[in-house]
Amino acid sequence: MKKILIIDDERAIRSTLKEILEFEKYNVDDAENGVEGLKMAMSNNYDLIFCDIKMPKMDGVEFLDEKIKNEIICPVIMISGHGNIETAVQALKKGAYDYIEKPLDLNRVLVAVRNALENNSIIRENKTLKRKIKTQDSSKIIGKSNAIKSILEIIEKVAPTDARVLITGANGSGKELVAKQLHEKSERNKAEFVEVNCAAIPSELIESELFGHEKGSFTSAHKQKAGKFEQANGGTLFLDEIGDMSASAQAKVLRALQENKITRVGGNKQIKIDTRIVAATNKDLRKEINEGNFREDLYHRLNVIPIAVPSLNERTEDIPLLTDFFIDNICKEQGIAKKDIHEDAIVQLQKNNWTGNIRELKNIIERLIILSGKEITKNDVQKYSNPSAE
């Protein structure tokens, strides 16, 4: 159900609009001034906002400025009284989608709502499509080994569901690609795929990153910020290297999974979320549980569908396909003709000990493309391939 916010200091206008929109099956909130409306817009994911131009405390134009400043992504229809046309035009220039003059006309309101929501959906779909086109090749899972076939089969079965998935495997083995494929093949693929590297964020900041924070909740919290759970609402949140998450963050994530609600750091309001969780780790979480580093109850919440990604050494039969894929992509990126690679060079690559997995192979292929001649030979691989140095 689409959520709409009405901001107007006239109770009669709010009541009339709310009655009209709720009759049309929209979920409607209302606020009596711009300050209150701004707080509600920052705490909720509205699909559309109606905003009066002339209001005490904060007028409609000021509201638009604050909306932009706080990165609130939502179309706004301005409500304009007689004599406020110039201000309405100013509001349109600042990004308002449309304006409606008072007294409100029922048909005009419904047409404006329908057009604004359709336009917003098109914009979001275009952004998603552009992102898909941009990442289509980079998120592709390459391979015909039995291990990869098994993973692809699991993805096909699990992706359409909301089941939580725990992906395990060594660094560079392709855990992120599995997570992206789960999202792209799900019903949530029109919404965001949001990634958090739990190992790369300091423990004192991880909770703010995940759950957001209120202004003033800590020294550098100069404004309110939505966390990754909110950003991924309706989509997928990928918690990479979750084995490195702090104990306090683990407790809050567990609560969020149990209640489908979060609370921002420094806040007390619970925010409903609809986010699918996919987690990944290179650690043995059973061992971490025994050592007291990871919560067993969180492990069971996450480990509904386990997917183990094999190392490259366990799927060397995929190296020819991976090599061809990387050569093709890297040559396109560098604007050069695709280089050929000799069969004995492929065999040599398969003999290497790939401690860095797929990531290491890609680096080696890029090095070979840059340093070799017109063709990549076995001698080039022996000369320029040094896995232990990766």
Give the model confidence (pLDDT) of 48-62 as tens digits. Answer: 999 998 888 898 889
| Nearest residue to 366 via CA among 350, 384, 347, 348 | 384
Residue 378 scores a pLDDT above 70: yes
Which fold, 3-127?
A: Rossmann fold (3.40.50)
The radius of gyration computed from the CA coordinates of the chain, to the nearest angstrom, equals 26
Domain limits of the chain?
Answer: 3-127, 136-310, 313-389
Domains 3-127 and 136-310 share a fold: yes
Give CA–CA dist 201/208, Å, rounded. Answer: 10
Structure confidence at residue 125 (pLDDT): 66
The mean per-residue pLDDT over the stretch 285-295 comes to 96
Q: Is the pLDDT of residue 316 over 80?
A: yes
**Per-residue model confidence as pLDDT tens digits over 159-179:** 999 999 999 999 999 999 999
Pick the CATH number of 136-310 from 3.40.50.300, 1.10.287.1080, 3.10.105.10, 3.30.465.10: 3.40.50.300
Q: Say which CATH class 313-389 falls into.
A: mainly alpha
Residue 8 in this model has a pLDDT that exceeds 90: yes
Report pTM: 0.68
pLDDT at 116: 92
Please count the other Cβ atoms lying within 10 Å of the Cβ belonging to residue 172. 21
Q: Which residue has the tokens 């609130």?
A: 72
In angstroms, rounded to a whole number, what is the distance separating the alpha carbons of residues 128 and 136? Answer: 12
Within 8 A by CB and 6+ apart from 255, the residues are none
Segment among 11-25, 33-47, 82-96, 246-260 with least mean pLDDT:
82-96
pLDDT at residue 82, rounded to an integer: 62
State residue 149's pLDDT score: 96
Residue 388 has pLDDT above 70, yes or no: no
Grade residue 131 by pLDDT with cuts at 50, 70 and 90.
low
- Using one digit for the tens of pLDDT, what is the confidence trace for 189-207? 989 999 999 998 888 889 9
Which residue do the tokens 């406020």 mark? 84
Q: In the predicted model, is pLDDT for residue 304 greater than 70?
A: yes
pLDDT higher than threshold 70 for residue 372:
yes
| Listed ranges 69-73, 116-120, 297-301; the one with the highest mean pLDDT | 297-301
Q: How many Å apart are CA 163 and CA 182, to the nearest integer?
A: 10
pLDDT at 130 exceeding the cut of 60? no
pLDDT at 83: 55
Buried b vs exposed e over 299-332: b needs ≥16 C-beta within 10 Å?
A: bebbeebebebbbbebbbebbbebbebbbebbbe
